[in-house]
Amino acid sequence: MQQKTLFITPPFTQLNTPYPATAYLKGFLNTLGRESYQADLGIDVILELFSSKGLRQLFQQLDDSDAELTENSFRIYSLRDEYISTIDPVIRFLKNNNPTLAHSICDRSYLPEASRFQQLEDMDWAFGTMGIHDKARHLATLYLEDLGDLIQEAIDPHFGFSRYAEHLGRSATSFDEMEEALEQPDTLLSQILKDVLARKMQQYQPDLVCISVPFPGNLYGGFKCGQYLKEHYPAVKIAMGGGFPNTELRTLREPRVFNYIDFVCLDDGEAPLLSLLDYIDGNRAIGEMKRVYSRVNGAVVYHNGAKERDVAQRDTGTPDYSDLPLHDYLSVIEIVNPMHRLWSDGRWNKLTLAHGCYWGKCSFCDISLDYIRRYEPMTAALLCDRIEEIIAQTNQNGFHFVDEAAPPALLRDLALEIIRRKLTVVWWTNIRFEKNFTHDLCLLLKASGCIAISGGLEVASDRLLEKMKKGVTVAQVARVADAFTQAGIMVHAYLMYGFPTQTAQETIDSLEMVRQLFQAGIVQSGFWHRFAMTAHSPVGLHPEEFDVMRIGPENGHFANNDLEHHDPLGADHERFSEGLRKSLFNYLHGVCLDFPHSRWFDFKVPVTSIPPNYIAKSISALPESAARPNAVIVWLGSLPEMAVFEEKRGNRVVELAELVFYNKKKEWAVEADVPVADWLVEIFPKLLISNSEPMLFEQFARQYEAAGLGDFDQFRKTKTWLDLKNGGMLVL
């Protein structure tokens, strides 16, 4: 008899959308006819805690304790009746089920307010660009965060809305601290977690529970679930996998881990899961499993004797979101940063276009690990099949393509297929700022539903970008960002400081590059990250090649990934963090762009060596690049109506043609010589995206010349061609 599987995501990831790992694995088991279920315990726990019943329990616990509260927490406690009476309507509002409450929230007389609302004094101006519902959701988010502060102070110090006991999973070379925390008495939060899990176990009665741990902030919750299952369901097998084990537990030697779970699986979950199910079914020896740790006779043993390869992306099935309460997720607005808002506002279906990274060279990235190293793209047709299936499942058209870096060629084919099938899709993804993202490709992506991209500008220094092996220059990033912005797609830049050997001069020069990007209006969002050395990146594996020294920690029996290092040639990177954060916050809102860099720091910094017009010149210097040999030409618009008219030019009367087009907003016209217009009318149907095979650009040029219309390169310089390009003629 085949085993039933329950996939769970422990608290907490996001409030607005489920983490997709369980949906991916459930979709895979569907292809095999195996019975499985899934649960996002994070959203379940949040909805129980942030309810009138949950808050009554919370405040009752405070009544029964003699804990001393800070002034802010005591204010919230004193307003407990207000919080209990408002919490259910606010949660319904954040689920988009109670929209009229926005009016009451916005008049600032409905919600009780504590310290989180003090920041509004600095942010009132931002609400001018926000509608009433956005403003209300931001205020409701602050209201929840006030309650979160109380919970963290007085109920459970591990609490965080998108992470739970994260510090226990960060750089945890020893299991001691985690074990100590797990053996503490339950808090209100961990008791709610166990109650929710108990109901899921009763509902689904699984034989195997798979715990997905994508981040350090899920690890404690995952072990807490395992602890409960070991005590109450000793016959049920428990496996753990996900992003955290894949990066942190690759050298696992700690037997105490298996007091709480039975197996740890590494890398892509499909093949290890299948081998594990075969083992539990009694059809496979323990040593023949694939990339699985377990405890055997008191010692940790790695089993990897399976002969099967990993499951190909095309065979993993369509992610299945059933069992998840898709209409119960909360759309919150934590901060006004436009890209971060996409993470937390609205529910996004998650989908992967290609396994791994097509570039796979960045020296700060975990390129030695399978999830980056093994690149395997899917076809546009299969991706669109899955998009259609997921839309039918969820009734939601928003997609976040969660690739490390979405390949431009695949994005082109996907966009063409989306438009060809007339799908309504709103999507965003992560990219490399590489030259193949041309102005025309960006227009195509916009037409297919792309609203935003994020990409790594990182250090904004050509020397360091080369050392990183990013394969881009700052000037190239500027041109690509400009192309996306002109197409109406928001651009978010991942920024990094503290890369090995980065000097104070380079840090200030990077800040100047960022300032110019915002000043030019071609980057709309950004975030500075401090460089972190990880064990599986080229820097971590070969620090001497990057002129840094690893100074710790020693490899432990539990988690090993984040490394401490000394950078003798670099600046004191920590000193720059606050000034970089503060300046970027202002640039994001289009203010203080004329401030000297020294204003952002409380210590002396060098004067930038970057010319003040560097980014502007990089954009304007972009030449019209020649089309690639395999480029295709497509027409985004409608077919034209043609009319011929006469025009007097001096003593001559010449015949001209007018091609009239209609789009969603207006009608517009292109003038051309009559023979050219006749040829265009004939060729346009062959350029429509609805054709299964797009026309090659070279073929288009040859046909123009074969029709006796002259030299095609000369035609490309005419107003007719430029008007067509502006109207939707794309060379891709």
pLDDT at residue 238 above 90? yes
Looking at residue 43, its pLDDT comes to 96
Could you give phi then psi for residue 399, rounded to 5 degrees? -130, 135
**324 domain-assigned:** no
Residue 318 domain flag: no
Q: Give dist(CA 674, CA 657) in Å, integer.
A: 5
**Predicted confidence band of residue 333 (pLDDT cuts 50, 70, 90):** confident
CATH number at 511 reads: 3.20.20
pLDDT at site 408: 95
- pLDDT, one tens digit per residue, over 185-226 is 999 999 999 999 999 999 999 999 999 999 999 999 999 999
178 and 138 in one domain?
A: no
The CA distance from 197 to 594, in Å, is 55
- Give the Cα separation of 645 and 80 in Å (integer): 78
Average pLDDT over residues 483-507: 95
Residues 210, 127, single domain; the answer is no
Domain count across the chain: 4
Antiparallel, parallel or unpaired: β 632-635 and 695-696: antiparallel
Residues 190 and 74 in one domain: no
Q: From CA 196, how far away is CA 40, in angstroms rounded?
A: 10
Report yes or no on 328 lying in a domain: no
Distances (CA, A) of 370 to 360, 364, 365, 410, 697: 11, 16, 12, 21, 37
Whether residue 198 lies inside any domain: the answer is yes
Q: Is residue 326 part of a domain?
A: no
The C-alpha atoms of residue 630 and residue 208 are separated, in whole angstroms, by 50
Q: What percentage of the chain's residues is helix, strand, coil (to nearest 5)?
A: 45, 15, 40
The pLDDT of residue 596: 95
Examine residue 323 and state whether it is found in any structural domain, yes or no: no
Backbone φ, ψ for residue 286 (5° rounding)? -60, -35
Domain end, chosen from 280, 298, 313, is at 313
Are 451 and 427 within 8 A, CB to CB?
yes
Q: Count the alpha carbons within 13 Å of 298 in the hemisphere toward its beta carbon.
A: 0
Which parts of 205-309 fold into alpha helices (H)?
Answer: 216-232, 243-248, 270-281
Task: Answer yes or no: is pLDDT of 318 > 80.
Answer: yes
Length of the chain: 732
**325 part of a folded domain:** no
Residue with tokens 């000394």: 566
Give domain status of residue 620, yes or no.
no
269 touches 214 (CB < 8 A)? no
- Residues 528, 386 share a domain: yes
| Domain end position, chosen among 86, 121, 155 | 155
Three-class SS state of 299: strand
504 with 609, same domain: the answer is yes
What pLDDT score was predicted for residue 1? 66
The DSSP call for residue 653 is E
Residues 421 and 445 in one domain: yes
Q: What is the mean pLDDT of residues 232-256?
A: 96
Res 626: pLDDT: 66
Same domain, 220 and 193: yes
Mean pLDDT calculated for residue range 404-410: 94
542 and 517 in a common domain? yes
Same domain, yes or no: 596 and 716: no
Q: Residue 568 pLDDT > 80, yes or no? A: yes
> How much is the pLDDT for 133?
87
* Tokens 């099949």 found at: 385
| Domain stop point among 559, 588, 614 | 614
Strand partners, 426: 398
Rg (the chain; Cα; Å): 29
Please name which of 77, 130, 135, 85 lies closest in space to residue 111, comparing C-alpha atoms.
85
pLDDT digits (tens, 9 = 90+) for 435-466: 999 999 999 999 999 999 999 999 889 999 99
Task: Provide the residue range defining the domain that includes 684.
Answer: 632-731
φ, ψ of residue 531 to 5 degrees: the values are -55, 135
The pLDDT of residue 345: 77
pLDDT score recorded for residue 623: 58
Answer yes or no: do 399 and 481 share one domain. Answer: yes
Domain with residue 229: its CATH number is: 3.40.50.280
Domain match, 423 and 444 both: yes
User: pLDDT tens for residues 141-194?
Assistant: 999 999 999 999 999 999 988 888 888 887 689 999 999 999 999 999 999 999
User: Domain check: are 486 and 362 in the same one?
Assistant: yes
Q: At 293, list the tokens.
A: 């740790």
- Alpha-carbon distance of 209 to 322, in angstroms, equals 17
Region 241-253 average pLDDT: 95
Average pLDDT value for residue range 490-503:
95
In b/e form, how buried is each residue of 289-321, taking b as 16+ CB within 10 angstroms?
bbbbbbbeeeebebbeebeeebbebeebbbbbb
